Structure 1
Amino acid sequence: MAFLTLKHIQRIFEPGNNQVVALKDISLTVDAGEYVAIMGESGAGKSTLLNIIATLDQASSGKITLNGRDLTKLPEKAAAQYRREHLGFVFQNFNLLDSFNNQDNIFLPLVLAHTPLQEMQRRLAPLAQQLMITKLLARYPYEISGGQRQRIAVARALITQPELLLADEPTGALDSHNATQLLKLFAQVNQAGQTILLVTHSAATASYSRRTLFIKDGIIYHELYRGTQSQTQYLQKINTSLTALMTSGGEENVKA
């Protein structure tokens, strides 16, 4: 059975008297341990889809199940608890609190879950070593670089030991060097078994994934699997698909 399943997800916004169909009909499955990137033009619905999976937004219709649990039926309070206990988030702008030092930023979701301090420290030690942030823990977000802040944000996402890691344009605020370091880290985390779903507009970022979905006009227009291809080969296929996506006017649903 698939780890994450979306069936006929639709999201319609109705500002004023205008109806905007952000997602028309999205169905997909993600297996445990997969690393999937979602791409599409601005306004294609990428972030809307991620927010619905994250229970930060609700679908107008359709069904989502994660590890056998129906997320579309969670009331607001239960959804907030579910996010804390089962999902990890990495955002473009880090979303760290400058009034907390880096260690306390990382601990925050565990504090909200009433996790004992000894357990928080036990989880942090190997993460800090893996992310090379041990010397940064006593400092504050405003005292460190953007790349370092994103590593703190990744630690905060992973310390909950999430079933699913969700990343929304995680390299958007980073220079090329720090972006590459972050994506290599994601690849390592995925190889260790972490399921990752990442939204990006960058072909280079998507090339680190194992599968790439392209959204257009509210549907999954195209899908690529990396398979045994090198990262360079996969990047070329992604760029080719993006060119086709921008020049095609019709709806299509193909796999490659």
Structure 2
Amino acid sequence: MTLLKLEHVQRVFAEGKFQVQALRDISFDVAAGDYVAIMGESGAGKTTLLNIIATLDQPSSGKIELNGQDLSQMGENQAARFRREHLGFVFQNFNLLDTFNNRDNIFLPLVLAKTPYEKMEQRLKPIANQLQISDLLDRFPYEISGGQRQRIAVARALITQPELLLADEPTGALDSKNTNILLDLFDVVNTTGQTILMVTHSALAASYSKRTLFIKDGVIYHELYRGEQSRSAYLEKISLSLTALASKKVGK
């Protein structure tokens, strides 16, 4: 079943007398349960694309649907509610509040949705066990490591039971050990049926996905499917594609 559908999405920014076309023509589908990585050089349009899917920005033209709902027609208040109810977010810099303990950081989106406390606790227990953070819940973000903070952030994203998990460079602030731990967790979460869309510069991170889209100059330049390949074989193909992406112009 198709969960996310983009059709001919464009995004143009006005800078004085000039216009910058961040996205020229983006079309792709994401099936429920898929795990898609989006790669490209800086300025290729990855973050702009993620912001549009997250309803944090609007396309200049084109159409985006999540589960049949047109995201491009939402007002600000409707979009904010939609994000809380349908999307989960994992950011490079965690975006946790040091004035809240880890439990309350995880609960924050449910508090905003006025979820009863008993229901929040019921949702938290299996997630905390899965992410191995049960002993961290009463501590504060500044008291734990970067890898542990990212797991708290993942728990906050998952506790809303989102249809789509959006990850923006989730391994960017982590060392190699914690990067592998986080990617293994994403792998496990995806096997439970969670759909993931991840923007990353890391070929290693992308190698955990089922499918990788490469963006260059605001268009989908190339696409890879992992299929039955080993992770190492898929990583090699991703690395080769990135080399080709850096050396060629779109349309050449």
TM range (shorter): over 0.9
Amino acid at match of 2:19: Q
Deviation at residue 17 of structure 1 after TM alignment: 1.5
Residue type at the aligned position of 2:110? L
2:24 equivalent to 1:13:
no
Q: Distance in 2 between matches of 1:44 and 1:201?
A: 11
Rounded to whole Å, the distance in 2 between the matches of 1:70 and 1:13 is: 22
SS of residue in 1 equivalent to 2:15: coil
CA distance in structure 2 between the aligned counterparts of 1:176 and 1:23, rounded to whole angstroms:
32
- The equivalent of 2:185 in structure 1 is 185
Instruction: Indicate whether 1:135 and 2:135 are aligned.
Output: yes
Q: Which runs of 5+ in 1 are unaligned?
A: none
Identify the residue that residue 120 of structure 1 maps to in structure 2: 120
Amino acid corresponding to residue 154 of structure 1 in structure 2: V
Contact kept? 2:221, 2:250, Cα under 8 Å: no
| Counterparts of 2:168 and 2:152, CA distance in 1 | 16
Distance 1:82 1:73 in 2: 12
Instruction: Find the residue that maps to 1:103 and give its secondary structure.
Output: helix
Q: Which residue of 1 aligns with 2:202?
A: 202
Question: Quick one: distance in 1 between partners of 2:99 and 2:16?
Answer: 38
Residue 76 of structure 1 is matched in structure 2 by 76
Deviation at 1:243, TM superposition (A): 0.6
Please give the TM-score of this superposition, normalised by the length of structure 1: 0.97
Deviations 1:204-242 (A, max 9, x none): 110000000000011000000000000000000000100
Deviations 1:70-91 (A, max 9, x none): 0011110000000001000000
CA root-mean-square deviation: 0.7
CA distance in 2 between counterparts of 1:167 and 1:190 reads 13
Aligned ranges for residues 219-234 of structure 1 at < 5 Å? 219-234=219-234
> Hey, what's the Cα distance between the residues in 1 that align with 2:217 and 2:199?
16
Q: Deviations over 1:187-215 (max 9, x none)?
A: 10000000000000110110000000000
Deviation at residue 251 of structure 1 after TM alignment: 2.4
1:32 match:
32
State the distance in 1 between where 2:18 and 2:81 align: 33
- Give the secondary structure class of the aligned counterpart of 2:224: strand
Contact in 1 for aligned 2:47/2:199 (Cα 8 Å)? yes
Amino acid at match of 1:197: L
| Alignment partners' CA distance in 1, 2:211 and 2:160 | 25
Partner of residue 163, structure 1: 163
Matched, 1:235 2:235: yes
SS in 1 for 2:251: coil
Structure 1 residue 250: Cα displacement: 3.2
Distance 1:116 1:250 in 2: 51
The separation in 1 between residues aligned to 2:18 and 2:206, in whole angstroms, is 33
Secondary structure at 2:5 match in 1: strand
Which amino acid counterpart does residue 91 of structure 2 have in structure 1?
A: F
| Alignment TM-score, normalising by the size of structure 2 | 0.99
The answer for the alignment partner of 1:94 in structure 2 is 94
Q: Percent identity at matched positions?
A: 71
- Output the amino acid matched with 1:46: K
Deviations 1:46-76 (A, max 9, x none): 0110000000111111000000100011110
